[in-house]
Amino acid sequence: MSDPLHPSAVLLEDTARLLAELRAAPPLTHCITNSVVTGFTANVLLAVGAAPAMVDIVGESGMFASVASGLLVNLGTPTPEQRAASLEAVGGASAAGTPWVLDPVAIGVLPIRTDLARDLVARRPTAIRGNASEILALAGLSAGGRGVDATDTTDAAAEAARLLAREHGSVVAVSGPVDLLTDGEIEVRIANGTPVLTKVTGGGCALGAMMAAFLGAARGTGITALHAVAAASVVYEIAAERAAAVAGGPGSFAGALLDALAAISPADLDGARVEVTALEAVR
């Protein structure tokens, strides 16, 4: 049996608790996300037990963010109205203490979204989720990847993630074959998941929304933002593994993922491959 006081065991206990909290009181999860993935993102949130709302209209987004449990700002298709709505929503979230997630999709070479991402990150998101190239670009250490695809490894982005976490007080989650998450003091690596996620539009974007939902569920529980973000990743990626095991390809995988998210239980967390390390231990 694992040591119940081991950091990884504590993280998984918090994950089970948050999954129960989320289903008992579905967090209202405000998503300003890209037009390619809106439906899939909403279905992922519904499947796991959260309550999605896609409010991206100027004049409403700030008001809604102030009453939501969590907010996602995804820069995949940053139209002029979405850009203004994102800034308004972040203002409303910050004033109300609503946790929020920044997903800086495809930043680096593309100037409009890159400038917006840098403006938003200065407003201290609760969490930042991206692939390695996006995280490096947000930290000013590379020109980004190939569109939405990473051209850098997770390990290559580790120091950038730590710098962003320490500078902005954010949890930074770098997606890859092994996910890396850090708050600047602790590092979590999650080895669950499946390559099939990269064959479904919105696979990564929906994870950002899951993080916003789990951060919303964590409010008032005493569970840290790092553990809430990691819990979202663990639940999502174990569900993805289960879906890949029964799917015949990307088309059936998308439906199977929703089924797996709806069915996942604390007992399934025994399959988590998680490593938690204090950064002082690796310096």
129 domain residue, yes or no: yes
Number of domains the chain is built from: 1
Q: What is the pLDDT of residues 162-175, one digit of tens each?
A: 999 999 999 999 99
Q: Which 3 state secondary structure label does DSSP give 122?
A: coil
- Global confidence as pTM: 0.95
pLDDT at 114 over 80: yes
Report the pLDDT value the prediction gives residue 153, as an integer from 0 to 100.
86
2 domain residue, yes or no: no
152 domain residue, yes or no: yes
pLDDT at 138 over 60: yes
The dihedral over CA atoms of 89, 130, 192, 98, expressed in degrees to the nearest 10, equals -20
Amino acid at 16: A
**Which range among 113-122, 146-155, 250-259, 266-275 shows the weakest confidence by mean pLDDT?**
146-155
| Long-range pairs for 113-117: beta carbons < 8 A, 24 or more residues apart | 113/75, 113/78, 114/144, 116/75, 116/78, 116/83, 116/86, 117/75
273 domain residue, yes or no: yes
Report the pLDDT value the prediction gives residue 109, as an integer from 0 to 100.
84
CATH code of the domain covering residue 32: 3.40.1190.20
Please state the rounded mean pLDDT for residues 171-188: 97
- By CB atoms closer than 10 A (0-12, 13-18, 19+), residue 251 is exposed
What percent of the chain stands above pLDDT 90?
A: 91
Q: Note down the domain range covering 252.
A: 7-282
31 domain residue, yes or no: yes
Mode of pairing for the β-strands spanning 28-32 and 70-74: parallel
206 domain residue, yes or no: yes
1 domain residue, yes or no: no
